[in-house]
Amino acid sequence: MAHDRRDHDEKAADTSGISRRGFISRVGAGAAVVAVASKASAESAKPTETMQATELSRITLTVNGQQRQVLVEPRWTLSHVLREELGLTGTKVGCERGECGACTVLIDGKPRYSCMTLAVEAQDADIVTVEGLMDGEDLGPTQEAFVEKDAFQCGYCTSGQILAVEGMLGDNPNPSLDEIRIGVSGNLCRCGAYVHIFQAAQRAAELKQGVGGES
């Protein structure tokens, strides 16, 4: 499979340091630009980033608070890089069309689909996956709430659901049932565990506010 070959190449590149390192050309923003449009910001001194299609380029992603260097092709999605390059397989991939939510991660605190986000576009962002919700060896409150409320059957959608709930609670610590329904409306559950997922979201809100014990 083409895919396996690429993984292999990537590892070879990693050990050899530069052999397959991608081409990132850095050109001053003002250079070779014909100034026409009124709002063009000539003062911007940031270099332009260009990546060639078939080359691997080194980028840095901030995942679960850690800076991770990784070699990527421009077409690789964040879900692909998280799973196949960084080994964070808690993030699941379902439709790869923005339709199911299995791949949900937090990007700067907001739930987004990692299958519809290029890895190169996530370079300046804070990325949180389900692994990042752990509290040391213990489950974080939203994870705990899903276990407590038995909010899954096969579990395939669960990490996406958990991150959708985590992101929603970041904006709205006390959601109503209707707000919860909207909050997880971008996450499909083929097993139909919705009622328990809604309860888990309510429980996660309580746990985050320090309401302990069985509810």
Partner 1 sequence: MIPEFNYVRAQSLTEAQQQLSTDGARVCAGGSDLLGCLRDEVFDCSKVVSVTGLDELRGITRSRDGGVNIGALTTIAELAANSTVQELYPGLAQAAAEVASPQLRNQGTIGGNICQKPRCWYYRGEFECLRKGGDTCYAMAGENQYHCILGGYRCYIVHPSDTAPALLALNASVQIAGPRGERVVPIEDFHVAPRDDVQRETVLEDNEIVVAISIPQPASGLRSSYRKVRARGSWDFALAGVALALAFDADRVTGGRVVLSGAAPIPWRSREVENTIIGQRIDATLAREAADAAMSEAAALKNNGYKIPLFKGVIEEQLLAIASA
Ligand X SMILES: Cc1cc2nc3c(=O)[nH]c(=O)nc-3n(C[C@H](O)[C@H](O)[C@H](O)COP(=O)(O)OP(=O)(O)OC[C@H]3O[C@@H](n4cnc5c(N)ncnc54)[C@H](O)[C@@H]3O)c2cc1C
Give the interface with ligand X as residue ranges (CB under 6 A). Answer: 98-99
Which residues lie closer than 8 Å to 136 by C-beta, 6 or more apart?
none
Nearest of 207, 197, 89 to residue 140 by alpha carbon: 207
Nearer to ligand X, 113 or 146 (CB): 113
Which residues lie closer than 8 Å to 66 by C-beta, 6 or more apart?
none
- Asked whether position 4 contacts partner 1 by CB under 8 A, the answer is no
Nearest of 73, 83, 74 to residue 105 by alpha carbon: 83
- Asked whether position 190 contacts ligand FES by CB under 6 A, the answer is yes
Q: Six-digit token pair at 97?
A: 């069309």
| Pairing of the two strands 24-27 and 48-51 | antiparallel
Of 38-46, 62-70, 94-102, 127-135, which segment contacts ligand FES by CB under 6 A? 94-102
- Asked whether position 34 contacts partner 1 by CB under 8 A, the answer is yes
Nearest of 53, 86, 59 to residue 71 by alpha carbon: 59
Using CB under 6 A, which residues numbered 149 to 168 contact ligand FES?
A: 152-158
Identify whether the C-beta of residue 85 lies closer than 8 Å to the C-beta of residue 72. yes
Using CB under 8 A, which residues numbered 84 to 123 contact partner 1?
A: 96-99, 101, 104, 107, 110-113, 115-118, 120-121
Point out which residues bind partner 1 (CB under 8 A). Answer: 2-3, 29-30, 32-42, 44, 46-54, 73-75, 77, 96-99, 101, 104, 107, 110-113, 115-118, 120-121, 164, 167-168, 181-183, 185-188
Point out which residues bind ligand FES (CB under 6 A). Answer: 93-96, 98-103, 113, 115, 152-158, 189-191, 193
